[in-house]
Chains A and B, each alone.
Chain A
């Protein structure tokens, strides 16, 4: 854990080191660059000096050659008899524009231009000489160009006979100078030192558009206004020294020069931009910069590559570490899961052993007692009752185990059919109410906000969910406790689906938070000193959750120890509209009803449901209100909340107000005193909660005038004769005995083949139905059924064939029906159920 700060420190150190290296490198490069610049600058100054020296020497050489030539002419003149004639005959040329002679003692002379010549306009006062010959100040000559004159004495026999004046033009010097220097970036003027006039700008020396008049103009045009420099230059001009100085010309650093020629009579004046002088130095510096930049880029590239590589390795290492951790975690979890599974299964087996042995022990024990007390009818009945109870418990245990097995292997399929919420609630109520009553518990059933009762879903599985939840609530709630069963209609997400929340709440033992985490795991069961007396497989909640999720729903639970638990299931079920509603009410002449209901919520619920069905409804919260509404309301039916009012008295009052209209009492299961009220005119009982379908059914019954007791629906088997295919002798015997107890006859065959043959041989009507086991040797039940249905006998197609098998799943039922059977009854046999199924099948077959 302490590695991170160390790593950061190392990185900071590395970064600082890199920065330091770069700083040192930068300083080193800068120092070298400066050194090179200085050296190149010195070298360039030297080079410039040499160039100027060369120009100086060239000009001085020209001046010397001119002077030498003039001396020669003077000697020649001295030898001639008529010097003036010689001069007049002398031909003009480009270099020597004019040659003149003034003989000694005269003020005027002759020149080769033909005119008279005087030396008055020539100024030799500056004292400049070439090879000892005086040189005049520069002037613009008759050709309109700058020129100078050298005078040379003409000596004959040691005596000066005159002075020879030769005029030279500066343009002649231009021809001997280079065509620019420093790549024509240098500017050069030739200046007459005495007058400071610029007398020549040689070809290629500086900008052609710049023409300077004199030194002052040069200063002004190039902004050389520093008095120190000007003073220094003046001193140099006076003493004939050279001067070089730095000064910016048009914002560019330049080296300015004043270079003395011929002892300072003439000066070379100009400047060279420093860039031109240091061209090589700059180029070298640029190259050094490029090399350093390249190295820098290469170095940064290496660092970048190193960083990328390091990051990649780090990422790879982290991935590996993560993978290892995940792997370890998975292994650990797997081990833990395996241990838990092992423990759970051990516990499950232990539980199963206990749970199976307990009823088995009861069965065997009571069987022993039954054998002993066979003569005592009362004891036999008691023992058989207990044996039946133990057997049923064993059966539910086995069913649960099989369910879990199927769900876990993903083989469960939902059997989607039309069902009514009313039926679901009614059947659950019928099962749970007795259990709750037995424990002295109160079961409150409440349905609110459900707009559609007729839905598409697996009714059996929904029943299973509700019974699991409610039976648990009953199990884990002490006596005199309360259980609330609510179905709440939620806001629809789609108009085609009804969204409902099922809540099962109790004020029982509750669960610890630890247990809550595993409540939906298989093979777990809440156990403590209070609940360990409760029978259970520990599979119910796992099955419930699996079924809910299979239906696309959710299940949640909240619980607190000794405060109770709340299970919430949310489901979305497709709506199936019942189009016959309006016609039903019209057929029975019902348009308007009065509902005297205590709870506001219940009133609203009933109003919504009844209005949706096409009826008008007036609701009243008190008897007075109801009595006020009744006389003028033209109601065809009154609905009275039994528990909310004094049922009997209220019923009487209502009856007085509407002597002929039927009254329906909305009452809890098994409400007290209701029988008395039923005797008072046309009336019926509608079990809470209010469902429209149940309401319709009750109306139907009231209007038809009789309520069919459920018991009456049971059909008697007396006098019927069955063909039963059963390979198990015990089962065959039990079946035969049971049927004989009901007064029915039964012929047993051992397999399907025999069943087919026996039916083929039988006379028409000899058997009322065939009871067919499925798993049999020779020919199984399905094949046998198909064979029977395939027979050419007239009754082969309609004789009821009922599957009786231990294969109790929905798929098994489907397979049986597909094989041509009419119904499916699971083993072990429930005689009541068998009677009901046989009766229904016979009815369908019109037998």
Chain B
């Protein structure tokens, strides 16, 4: 009887509590203004950055890493960062760099993610703010500081040190008994073997990144020979000619095209990764070139069905990573300049870069942040750790390298001779030094 008596009491208690809670929920106070009150003083910072095409089935790790740091800045500062972007539909469209240049010149946005040639151009035009005074700049590696300083101003700071390398299908090299190439001769031999074994185009290329081959061969000695400053000074004064440095790389590239190891026609109209990526992933092409982050993200080469390795470009000094410097910059006349600087300060803080580097598995520009890389990147990382690399862009050189070389390589792809290309370099050097 005692046990049976428990149930009614228990049920009565539950019903009482339920009734009380239900009644309590009915008694909400209504404010006099029924509309939710928005924060009228919403601070907005416009960020212009490229946007890779969205793949519904893949995670864009690189994008996620940047988003995390943006979210951190929003949380800490109470600002909203609005994304502005542009993507070229095809090669006939304006490029991202073109649009970024125009937008920065027109003060359309506050923050910009810029390629090295644009950084140099805008820096020289005085369209970018000097970032030397922000706290995060104090933690930068020297190489970053040097590569992004224009006329004594630190005009851009990257969230990662971008290193370009050759992405190779190790399985295919093993299949034909080939060692990974160290020198241009090795590379040509590998291409020959692949070609003879029915691989139509051993090297997948696009219209953007072929200059990495050229730059690797051009500046392998300059950056690793122990006389860098003097050689750059000679180039800036006109005593040395860029064409002399560039010639071996262009000749090598020309040979690759002539022998059919690179499909020049296709490369000249291909966007990065979109053009050559599918063949590489399908194991029809054993070699492509790309940046470090492509090895980490599924939208590029982060998920392959074969063993992939990333090595440096062939040069007289062996495998050579090429490191251009993209960077975040603040417009000199930006509408929300102060907020943009604060956002940038947070995005480049050690805390944010740690998250960025861990998410994206890249080399951090901060000397305080160290992250292990994925196994595929180890050969490239080892060279960088040894201090052996070539800068793809250097604001210390009067003649901008990354963008100009790219454009002149496109001319080579379009059928120009090596001599014509060298003449273009000479012309460019003369015009620049004349200013």
Interface residues of A (CB under 8 A from B): 140-145, 171, 197, 203, 208-214, 217, 220-223, 250, 301, 304-305, 308, 312
Asked if B98 is at the interface of the complex by the 8 Å CB criterion, the answer is yes
Q: How many A-B residue pairs have CB under 8 A?
A: 70
A144 touches B53 (CB 8 A): no
Across the interface, B56 reaches (CB within 8 A) one of A203, A208, A213, A250, namely A250
Interface residues of B (CB under 8 A from A): 1, 4, 7-8, 11, 51, 53-56, 60, 63, 67, 82-83, 85-87, 89, 93-94, 98-106, 108
Q: How far, in whole Å, are A474 and B144 apart by their CA atoms in the complex?
A: 129
B56 touches A143 (CB 8 A): no
B89 touches A143 (CB 8 A): no
Given A140-B86, A144-B100, A214-B89, does the pair A312, B4 have CB atoms closer than 8 Å? Answer: yes
Q: Which interface residue of A140, A141, A144, A250 has the most chain B CB atoms within 10 A?
A: A144
Cβ of B82: which chain A residues have Cβ within 8 Å of it? 203, 208
Q: How far, in whole Å, are A220 and B53 apart by their CA atoms in the complex?
A: 9
Across the interface, B108 reaches (CB within 8 A) one of A144, A203, A210, A223, namely A144
B99 touches A212 (CB 8 A): no
B11 touches A211 (CB 8 A): no
Given A212-B54, A217-B53, does the pair A144, B86 have CB atoms closer than 8 Å? Answer: yes
B56 touches A305 (CB 8 A): no
A221 touches B83 (CB 8 A): no
B53 touches A221 (CB 8 A): yes
Cβ of A171: which chain B residues have Cβ within 8 Å of it? 108
B132 to chain A, nearest CB (A): 27
Q: A143-B105, A197-B89 are in contact. List 13 more A-B contacts (CB 8 A).
A: A142-B102, A143-B103, A144-B94, A144-B105, A208-B82, A208-B83, A211-B54, A211-B83, A211-B85, A213-B89, A301-B11, A305-B7, A308-B4
Cβ of A141: which chain B residues have Cβ within 8 Å of it? 102
A144 touches B4 (CB 8 A): no
Cβ of A305: which chain B residues have Cβ within 8 Å of it? 7-8, 11
Q: How far, in whole Å, are A301 and B93 apart by their CA atoms in the complex?
A: 71
Cβ of A220: which chain B residues have Cβ within 8 Å of it? 53, 56
Q: How far, in whole Å, are A214 and B88 apart by their CA atoms in the complex?
A: 10
B99 touches A140 (CB 8 A): yes
B369 to chain A, nearest CB (A): 24
A286 to chain B, nearest CB (A): 15
Residue of A nearest to B18 (CB): A294
A209 touches B8 (CB 8 A): no
B11 touches A143 (CB 8 A): no
Q: How far, in whole Å, are A308 and B9 apart by their CA atoms in the complex?
A: 13
Q: Which interface residue of B51, B60, B67 has the most chain A CB atoms within 10 A?
A: B51
B42 to chain A, nearest CB (A): 9
Cβ of B103: which chain A residues have Cβ within 8 Å of it? 143-145
B4 touches A143 (CB 8 A): no
Cβ of A210: which chain B residues have Cβ within 8 Å of it? 54
Given A213-B87, A305-B11, does the pair A142, B106 have CB atoms closer than 8 Å? Answer: yes
A517 to chain B, nearest CB (A): 40
B303 to chain A, nearest CB (A): 18
Given A144-B86, A211-B87, A305-B11, does the pair A221, B108 have CB atoms closer than 8 Å? Answer: no
Cβ of B8: which chain A residues have Cβ within 8 Å of it? 305, 308
B423 to chain A, nearest CB (A): 29
Given A214-B89, A222-B56, A301-B11, does the pair A209, B102 have CB atoms closer than 8 Å? Answer: no
Cβ of A304: which chain B residues have Cβ within 8 Å of it? 7
Cβ of A208: which chain B residues have Cβ within 8 Å of it? 82-83
Cβ of A213: which chain B residues have Cβ within 8 Å of it? 53, 87, 89
Q: How far, in whole Å, are A536 and B157 apart by their CA atoms in the complex?
A: 128
Cβ of B1: which chain A residues have Cβ within 8 Å of it? 312
Residue of B nearest to A140 (CB): B94
Cβ of B106: which chain A residues have Cβ within 8 Å of it? 142-145
Given A142-B102, A203-B82, does the pair A308, B7 have CB atoms closer than 8 Å? Answer: yes
Cβ of B55: which chain A residues have Cβ within 8 Å of it? 221
Cβ of A145: which chain B residues have Cβ within 8 Å of it? 103, 106, 108
Q: How far, in whole Å, are A223 and B93 apart by their CA atoms in the complex?
A: 25
Across the A-B interface, the 8 shortest Cβ-Cβ residue pairs: A144-B102, A211-B51, A144-B103, A143-B106, A221-B54, A144-B99, A211-B85, A208-B83
Cβ of B93: which chain A residues have Cβ within 8 Å of it? 140
Q: How far, in whole Å, are A700 and B76 apart by their CA atoms in the complex?
A: 119
Q: How far, in whole Å, are A250 and B55 apart by their CA atoms in the complex?
A: 11
Cβ of B94: which chain A residues have Cβ within 8 Å of it? 140, 144
Residue of B nearest to A221 (CB): B54
A121 to chain B, nearest CB (A): 12
Selected A-B contacts with CB under 8 Å, 25 pairs: A140-B93, A140-B94, A142-B106, A143-B103, A143-B105, A143-B108, A144-B99, A144-B100, A144-B102, A145-B103, A203-B82, A208-B82, A209-B67, A209-B83, A210-B54, A211-B83, A213-B53, A213-B87, A217-B54, A220-B53, A221-B54, A221-B56, A301-B11, A312-B1, A312-B4
A209 to chain B, nearest CB (A): 6
B57 to chain A, nearest CB (A): 8
A724 to chain B, nearest CB (A): 72
Q: How far, in whole Å, are A171 and B46 apart by their CA atoms in the complex?
A: 13
Cβ of A250: which chain B residues have Cβ within 8 Å of it? 56
A209 touches B63 (CB 8 A): yes
Cβ of B53: which chain A residues have Cβ within 8 Å of it? 213, 217, 220-221
Cβ of A221: which chain B residues have Cβ within 8 Å of it? 53-56
Q: How far, in whole Å, are A217 and B108 apart by their CA atoms in the complex?
A: 25
Cβ of A142: which chain B residues have Cβ within 8 Å of it? 102, 106
Q: How far, in whole Å, are A216 and B53 apart by their CA atoms in the complex?
A: 11
Cβ of A143: which chain B residues have Cβ within 8 Å of it? 102-103, 105-106, 108
Residue of A nearest to B104 (CB): A144
B346 to chain A, nearest CB (A): 17
Cβ of B98: which chain A residues have Cβ within 8 Å of it? 144
Cβ of B89: which chain A residues have Cβ within 8 Å of it? 197, 213-214
Cβ of B56: which chain A residues have Cβ within 8 Å of it? 220-223, 250
Cβ of A212: which chain B residues have Cβ within 8 Å of it? 54
B66 to chain A, nearest CB (A): 9
Cβ of B54: which chain A residues have Cβ within 8 Å of it? 210-212, 217, 221
Q: How far, in whole Å, are A209 and B53 apart by their CA atoms in the complex?
A: 10
Q: How far, in whole Å, are A209 and B70 apart by their CA atoms in the complex?
A: 11
Residue of B nearest to A216 (CB): B89
Q: How far, in whole Å, are A250 and B7 apart by their CA atoms in the complex?
A: 48
Q: How far, in whole Å, are A171 and B85 apart by their CA atoms in the complex?
A: 13
Q: How far, in whole Å, are A594 and B63 apart by their CA atoms in the complex?
A: 115
Residue of A nearest to B22 (CB): A294
Q: How far, in whole Å, are A212 and B54 apart by their CA atoms in the complex?
A: 7
Q: How far, in whole Å, are A217 and B52 apart by their CA atoms in the complex?
A: 11
A302 to chain B, nearest CB (A): 10
A273 to chain B, nearest CB (A): 15
Q: How far, in whole Å, are A108 and B89 apart by their CA atoms in the complex?
A: 29
Cβ of B86: which chain A residues have Cβ within 8 Å of it? 140, 144
Residue of A nearest to B101 (CB): A144
A112 to chain B, nearest CB (A): 14
Cβ of B7: which chain A residues have Cβ within 8 Å of it? 304-305, 308
Q: How far, in whole Å, are A305 and B12 apart by their CA atoms in the complex?
A: 11
Q: How far, in whole Å, are A141 and B85 apart by their CA atoms in the complex?
A: 14
Q: How far, in whole Å, are A145 and B56 apart by their CA atoms in the complex?
A: 27
Cβ of A144: which chain B residues have Cβ within 8 Å of it? 86, 94, 98-106, 108
A711 to chain B, nearest CB (A): 78
Q: How far, in whole Å, are A220 and B57 apart by their CA atoms in the complex?
A: 10
A779 to chain B, nearest CB (A): 65
Q: How far, in whole Å, are A538 and B86 apart by their CA atoms in the complex?
A: 123
Q: How far, in whole Å, are A213 and B93 apart by their CA atoms in the complex?
A: 12
Q: How far, in whole Å, are A144 and B93 apart by their CA atoms in the complex?
A: 12
B54 to chain A, nearest CB (A): 4
Q: How far, in whole Å, are A513 and B233 apart by their CA atoms in the complex?
A: 134
Residue of A nearest to B107 (CB): A143
Q: How far, in whole Å, are A381 and B101 apart by their CA atoms in the complex?
A: 162
A128 to chain B, nearest CB (A): 20
Q: How far, in whole Å, are A785 and B106 apart by their CA atoms in the complex?
A: 145
Q: How far, in whole Å, are A126 and B89 apart by their CA atoms in the complex?
A: 20
A256 to chain B, nearest CB (A): 14
Q: How far, in whole Å, are A145 and B102 apart by their CA atoms in the complex?
A: 8
